[in-house]
């Protein structure tokens, strides 16, 4: 049985920093400096003020393809796969909406 290789680019600091900078460019200027990235086992949390209660999204990196977890107004997470960090821009509206909730 041949298994697909695990996606290993996301945990690299350079790629995570690119994703973080893309998310910072999406949100309003007065929030950009307050956004931080915290690595957890299996995913990275992107949050405002380094506060778990102000979670913008999650980047899952244990999957075959990287996945972004976005939250709706009821804090229900929906996961979407993406191929490269530039695909994060497709989810700009959801990220902006989430960030406005915490301003």
pLDDT in tens, 22-60: 999 999 888 989 999 998 888 999 999 999 999 999 999
Whole-model pTM: value is: 0.81
Listed by start position, the domains of the chain span: 13-101
What's the token pair of residue 84?
A: 């490269």
Cβ neighbours of residue 1 closer than 8 Å, sequence gap 6 or more: none
DSSP string, 27-88: S-TTTGGGEEEEE-SSEEEEEETT-GGGEEEEEE-SSSS-EEEEE-TT--EEEEE-SSGGGG
Give me the residues paired with residue 39 across strands: 44
Residue 79, pLDDT score: 95
pLDDT in tens, 53-87: 999 999 998 767 889 999 998 999 999 999 888 99
């Amino acid at each position: 049985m041949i298994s697909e290789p695990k996606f290993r680019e996301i945990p690299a600091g350079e790629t995570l920093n690119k994703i973080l900078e893309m998310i910072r460019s999406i949100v309003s200027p007065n929030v950009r400096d307050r956004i931080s990235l915290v690595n957890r086992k299996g995913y990275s949390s992107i949050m405002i003020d380094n506060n778990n209660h102000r979670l913008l999204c999650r980047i899952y990196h244990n999957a075959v393809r990287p996945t972004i977890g976005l939250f709706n107004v009821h804090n229900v997470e929906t996961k979407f796969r993406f191929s490269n960090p530039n695909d994060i821009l497709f989810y700009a509206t959801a990220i902006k909406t989430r960030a406005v909730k915490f301003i």
